[in-house]
Amino acid sequence: MTSPRLSTPGPHLIVALVTPFTAYGEVDRPSLRRLIAHLQAGGVNEFFAAASTGEAPLLDEAARLAVIETVRAAAPDGVLYAGVSGTGHRHAIRNARAAAQAGADVAVVMSPFFVALDQTQLVDFSTAIADASPLPLAIYHHLRMPTPFTVPTVAKLASHPNIVALKDTNGAEHNRCAEILAATAGTPLQFFQGVEKLVLPTLAADGHGCVVAQGNIAPHLFRAVLDAWQAGDPARAAECQRQIDALWSIFLQPEVRQSFAHFLLTMKRPLQQQGVIATTAGALPGVTFSPAYEQMIDDFMARHLPSLPAVRMP
């Protein structure tokens, strides 16, 4: 049964949550609760837990459930999307069932890790998960995965009664929103933009919102662009998008392009300095960063991240 929370009117602002860890590599539940409070204060009530930004491929089952359960307890009225991708469709189905028990509203699945499929095989893979999932399913296209969700494949999957949305992270130069909405006309499929730089163009193309990693550090900025667009103030929306574009440009740093851990630090370090999370630790062991890279982040955020009040809770 679909949760009544899914009737939230759009445009949707969904934050792809980072996963806070202790120095010992465990999920840091108090920090995660503070993160949810920080996002709620910034106007966010929809959360994507155990996503790629949340280091989902590196989480074991216990850690994945700890994240989902903690987010649900911290945001009982929020909409909770849970990553369920695994090593195959059976693994994803098990993850979807566990996520449902932990309180998730929507299961989100990527194409298989490592293994390349043709598009017919990808349809069959996604359909098998949608058929068995106790939760509505969202599909997640990412340009780094071996198999893309092409527009015709998305159109085929949109006819499935249990597939409700697409998160599309296709790179900053190509917004597929209009193509996909045209191909899925007459279906209830919702299009969520996964690239911060393309949020406003997606709204202009009648997309349904965004799922953004940098919402962790600037929730109010993304809320502002959506609210301005909805209020019929395109000039204000464009100004907010320009600020988002400047913030997004940190992803062009060569270290970020070489290492996922360096990408994560661009969000975890500001959150730690705001008092939201206790450490910048990730799921991978033994990762360290140069003082020069950390200073680059600090300098960049001082220029481009609007100040927020510190968030501290027990």
- 197-224 burial, b at 16+ Cβ within 10 Å, e below that, comes to bbbbebbebebbbbbbbbbbbbbbbbbb
Catalytic residue ranges: 140, 167
The single residue listed with the structure tokens 């009040």 is 309
- 68-87 burial, b at 16+ Cβ within 10 Å, e below that, comes to bbbbbebbeebbbbbbbbbe
Half-sphere exposure of 7 (CA within 13 A, CB side): 4
The token duo for 151 is: 């527009």
Could you tell me the end-to-end alpha-carbon distance of the chain, in angstroms, rounded to an integer? Answer: 36
The token duo for 244 is: 């988002």
Distance CA 44, CA 22 (A): 25
Distance CA 155, CA 17 (A): 28
Distance CA 194, CA 248 (A): 12
